[in-house]
Chain A
Amino acid sequence: MTGRSISYKHLSAWLFTLPGLFVQFFFGWFPILFAFFVGFQQYYLVKPPEFVGTANFREVFSDPLVLTALWNTFYYAFLAIGLTFIIPIFVSILLMEMAARTIRIMMLLWFIPVASTAGIAIWKYMYNPTLGLMNGIPTLFGMERWGIKWLDDPSLAMISLVLPGLILFGPGLIYIAALQNVPEELYEAADLEGASFFRKIRLVTLPRLRPIIAMMLLFSIIGSMQVFELPFIMTGGGPGYATTTVVMYVYNLAFGAYNLGKATALAIVLFFIIMTLIIIQRRFFKENLDD
């Protein structure tokens, strides 16, 4: 009786797992592992591929554009995380101070989502040199336009890409959900000790948010190192090469030049860089304080 039920349990366990296993194998792990094979191949449009050894990697390392793209990617990740990562956290903390009804309305308004390509299109319109509002705001008050060239200035282009992130997007909901779970007694205890506003944030709120911040930071590193749509749609990599990121270069190599081997070799290089960053982040930013 027990033997039968165990095997039945096992059977159904595997039956439940099977579809996920199939998808995760074919579309999750297999392409990742297979990349290490593609990187050593040369592909042709109508002929079968050839094995070319490390030629693709040698090309990647001798390509001056790769360095530029890597630098741009780091620069973007630095700006994106530095400027936009903290904002939803602090907004959530402040939002918790409001009356319950205000929280509900404000939450809706603060974290109102815009579809991703739509958001990028809006900002591209805002940055437009003649029609865009970013230069036109002063004209609303009857003044001259600002002569800032935003996306057309190589030194400003990357910041201009990050800027929309300051007021659009942001996974604020997750922080609010986490904050609502913080027991009120902790704050009351801190009150009794006469802790100030900022001290309470530092001693009570942030430690409680720590695991979730660690996780969001991880995702945000992975995400911003792989940024593609934003520069692809906003600037197409220009001016010059000022906003060409690695994934964009991978895309250009693969689907513009049809150089699939070199594209994958570059993707592999970026893969190892991101993995190193992840390991460093995990080492220094433990998710759980108790460990």
Chain B
Amino acid sequence: MPLIPKVGRKRFQTRLSLFSIGAFLWIGVLLHLFPVAWMISASLKPTTEIFEKPFNLIPEKPTTASYELLFTSVSGFLSTGADVFRYPMSVYLINSLIIAGLTVLLQIPITAMAAYAVSKLHAPRAARLLFFFFFGTLMVPGQIAIVPRFLLLSHFPWPTTAVPTVPFTDISLPSYSFIGTYWGIILPAAFSAFNFLLFKGFFDTLPTELIEAARMDGASEMMTLRKVMLPLARPVIAVTVYFAFTGAWNDFLGPWIILMSEQGMWPLSVVIYKLQWFLTSWQPTQGSMDPAAQRLISSGVGYNALMALAVIESIPIFLAFVIFREQLMKGIQISGLKG
């Protein structure tokens, strides 16, 4: 509304410019929706159509065969499916939900508590130091930590390939391998510097008197946080939950490195990578031939299954966006990210 003045809305020139802006935006919307529509249409095609008539915009014989293939487990002797389909898609879907859900459940309280303490409870000097400690990693490229984090997770808490021993003996110190467990992905994501910034920005705007008043009533700090602060923070919580959820859902490199060998634990992002890898990049090396790949080649799976997977993977993200949209806008506005 603001750029084009309210007065003189009926003038032809104003109308034309409004119309052209609208047209531009709608074209953009169409362009944007096109890949999404293509994804859905391809997921409804039978495999033969994908390969023989690749450019049909609307499937000639729409079928849900690829979804059915994804949701039935084809393990066992009679199957011709690939390793990717050893588990029904519900297993992968649940894995994704577990990872994203636990990340949200852990990350939001931990981050909110830390932000609250830094904003309201700590003495100024400690708060300053802690603020940089918590938020500093956001300003640092995280790629440097890929290898050390892998080493750390493989023999927690010793970041090495060989666990140190108790001095002068052969007994190795206790260590735990997070490789091949959900915790290897969830724990590193249990605190988010970005969400910390959002929470801190919000708590800073709240007047200290609120806390004082609650304390006067004899409420403990936990009670104050739960009963006074959090109800006010609902929009911010919505934003942080949204970011935490989409972040965990979209994460690929983490699960890929940690859960590589545990197929039953893969989230959807890894499955989709693996399927497209089978479709497009898989090569036998040195005569070693994955029997599963041989079977996949025979089974006639194609891009329709891949696109069906993409649809399945996108639905929760889309739902989260639709549900949280209004809260998101409010949350962004009242938190530290405002303009």
B216 to chain A, nearest CB (A): 11
1/0 contact string of A4-44 vs chain B (CB within 8 Å)? 01000110111011011101101111111011001000011
* Known pairs A177-B332, A197-B3; A113 contacts B147 (CB<8 A): no
* Known pairs A16-B221, A47-B162, A123-B35; A23 contacts B187 (CB<8 A): yes
Contact (Cβ within 8 A) B317 A113: yes
Supply 16 further A-B pairs (C-beta < 8 A) apart from A14-B117, A19-B190: A19-B191, A26-B187, A27-B188, A28-B191, A38-B148, A95-B25, A98-B25, A102-B22, A109-B29, A115-B317, A119-B35, A122-B310, A137-B55, A177-B337, A191-B7, A264-B148
Chain B residues at the A interface, C-beta cutoff of 8 Å = 1-5, 7, 17-18, 21-22, 24-25, 28-29, 31-36, 38-39, 42, 50-51, 54-55, 57, 110-111, 113-114, 116-118, 121-123, 130, 133-134, 136-137, 139-152, 157, 159-162, 187-188, 190-191, 193, 196, 215, 220-222, 225, 246, 249-250, 252-253, 257, 268-270, 272-273, 276-277, 280-281, 303, 306-307, 309-311, 313-314, 316-318, 321-322, 325, 328-329, 332-333, 337-339
Complex Cα distance, B320 from A112, in Å, reads 11
Task: Name B272's closest neighbour in chain A (CB-CB).
Answer: A117
Interface contacts (Cβ under 8 Å), in number, total 331
* Known pairs A27-B149, A112-B318, A122-B35; A233 contacts B273 (CB<8 A): yes
26 A–B contacts, CB within 8 A, in A order: A16-B117, A17-B118, A23-B110, A23-B188, A23-B191, A29-B133, A31-B159, A32-B142, A95-B25, A98-B25, A108-B322, A113-B246, A115-B269, A117-B270, A118-B313, A121-B276, A121-B309, A167-B35, A177-B337, A177-B339, A181-B339, A200-B2, A200-B3, A228-B253, A267-B146, A268-B144
B1 proximity list for chain A (CB < 8 A) = 96-97, 184
Of the stretches A57-65, A152-160, A247-255, the one at the interface is A247-255
Complex Cα distance, B3 from A58, in Å, reads 57
Complex Cα distance, B150 from A267, in Å, reads 14
